[in-house]
Chain A
Amino acid sequence: MRVLIVEDDDILRDGLKVGLALAGFTTDAVGTCDAAATALAANGFDAIVLDLMLPDGSGMDILKDLRSGQNDTPVLLLTARDTVRDRVAGLDTGADDYLGKPFDLDEVAARLRALSRRSTGRATAALEWASLRLDPARRSVEQAGRPVQLSRREYSILHTLMAHPGLIFSKTKLEDRLYGWQEEIESNAVEVHIHHLRSKLGPGLIETVRGIGYRLGGAG
């Protein structure tokens, strides 16, 4: 799950980027409205963590631009002003959730998972496919009740596919979900991770749609 963090304070931005990565998110972080606009134009994100007070404008403007462009990526507002009036203004502008500073890192992660879950139309936290069960909150995967150990990248790919069952993901789209900007993408990485997943979970789980990409297969 790829998350864009827009926060101008260096220490907090760094903390969110590293902390959310530890919680299983792929994170990108920017410090200004301009950089946020550039990032949003270039990539798709599953969620945005947005600070309201930025040096070159308000996070509210980013939110307005986003919503007026029919982009309904879930947005979690982070702000120091958390009076009722501010919260109402934020939510009415199109934010999906709201957290006042200082916040708990685990709560940010939990809310982001909840936002992503709701945006894909599911009510329960865990994802299930055949005998497979993926719990985003604990980052755990079970097959027929038996825990399966996955690496971070493998988990990310499986999470992406299970969040959108039936959808076909191209290799570049999966790479987008796996890597932040600063990270170097190894060639064939996606193929390698898919190979590992198949060997751990059974060959039929991930289907290759030739020339297009990958999707969940019928057999668990």
Chain B
Amino acid sequence: MRSLRTRLFAILLVTTGLLWLSATVWIFLSTRAEVERVLDARLMEAARMVNSLIVSPDMLKEEGDADANRLIQSATKIPLLEHPHYDRQLSCQIWSLDGTLIGKSDSAPDTTLAPHATGFSETVINGETWRVFAVENASLGVRVLVGDNLRIRDRLVNDMVKGLLLPALLIIPLLAVLIWLSVGRGLAPLRKLAGDLAAREASDLHAIEDLGTTREISPVLKSLNGLFARVAGAREREQNFIAFAAHELRTPLAGLKTQAQVALASDDGEIREKALGQIVAGVDRTGKLVRQLLDIASVGASESAEPAADCDVGEMLTALRTELVGQAHRVDVAIDAQLFGLRIGMDPNLFRLVARNLLENALNHSPPGATVSCSCKMEVDRLVFAIEDMGPGIPDEEMPHVTERFFRGRFKTAVGSGLGLSIVEQALDRTGAELELRNCQSGGLSARIVLPPSLVR
């Protein structure tokens, strides 16, 4: 795992180093050029001075070599730096135009420093490179050559550049340390966040407080808190599911046991008969619960999305009406004539499951004498098949939860299990249709199955 700190450190160090390197190269080049310009100017100055001091060639001849040498010595002693390294840096020769050496400084070689007449040149003499400036004095018949030994000149330039670069070199490790520390400090909020998260218990799903963290970390924090909220929500739903499931499964058993004990304990025939009747009703209800649990399992297990056969909605509903309304419901079921002959591409078993659960809900919630109506209509390109009842509907605050397993709302019936709508939704999910629940304006619930055109035959 790569460390962000190391990565940032490397990036910063490389970029800073590159900047530092180019600045150094620039300083080196410009310093050298400047020093050379200054030294060249000194060379030229010295040559011209020597030249101007020679009044006549006779002066040189009469007063002899000694005079000429004294002259040269004084001209070349212009101190550049008060430093032993740079002593005798300049060398001077005075040649007559016919090629005799009239005079020279101590450090100058015996051979000619430059073959040319005037201006700058570089020559190699005895392995040493010289930078030479020549001035020709035609009226006196002499040529003055003033030269710099390049070895000494390079040393001067190098010493100067070294003096500039040394502090810069010393700065590098300091810079590295500073960058390392700054990066560490800059990353402190991240480290704190990591520490906070590591210190958390698995069950702690509270949002992390955003106390003035940096703008870059805020989005991470927000996403993390979002995730925490979702996980907490999922966990709560799971807890609710377990609670509802336990309640719905254990309460009927408790009822059966209590009624059985009442029947056993009572000598009164009437009480015993009533208790046995309750047991029968309780077994019916528990049987329905078991059937629905098996339905859930079978809907979850059915694999083929492609129906084996189409089903006729009208016929299916008629069969269900015969089966369900016989069971003590004093409610009428009206089936729209349009539904007969309406064929949809849904597995008949799944559709039967859906229609049965919706119809059962409608019947169970209808007051005696009411009518449950089944109808269909086109909405844009979708076919909507609706079952409407005249019951109490579903309170708005319960709407989001009604398809949760084992959820039973305020208007629950004695025979419900809280599984019906969950089964319906699960079954429709497999076919591509959708369940819509709406409270009718006149009261009652409208359970709508919205079929995409691909399912309508």
Contact = CB atoms under 8 A, between A and B. Distances in A.
A37 interface: no
B315 to A, nearest CB: 35
B202 to A, nearest CB: 16
Contacts of B409: 55
B262 A101 contact: no
A101 B251 contact: yes
Interface size class of chain A, counting residues whose CB lies under 8 Å from the partner chain: 20 to 34
Interface string B252-283: 11111111011001100001001100100110
B410 interface: yes
Given A11-B259, A11-B281, A104-B261, A18 B271 contact: yes
A36 interface: no
A15 B255 contact: yes
Contact of A16 (B243, B258, B265): B258
B243 A56 contact: no
Contacts of B246: 80-81
Task: Name B's interface SS.
Answer: helix
Given A55-B410, A55-B412, A18 B251 contact: no
Contact of A9 (B242, B255, B266): B255
B265 A15 contact: no
Given A15-B275, A19-B261, A81-B247, A101 B410 contact: no
Contacts of B278: 11, 14-15
A12 interface: yes
Contacts of A101: 247, 250-251, 253-254
Contacts of B410: 55-56
A9 B409 CA distance: 13
B414 interface: yes
A18 B262 contact: yes
A181 interface: no
Interface in B121-142: none
Enumerate the 4 nearest inter-chain pairs by beta-carbon distance, A residue then B residue, closest first: A15-B258, A12-B255, A11-B255, A102-B254
28 contacts: A9-B251, A9-B254, A10-B414, A11-B252, A11-B255, A11-B256, A11-B278, A11-B282, A15-B261, A15-B262, A15-B278, A16-B258, A18-B274, A23-B265, A53-B243, A53-B247, A55-B410, A80-B246, A101-B253, A102-B250, A102-B253, A102-B256, A102-B258, A103-B257, A103-B258, A104-B261, A105-B257, A105-B265
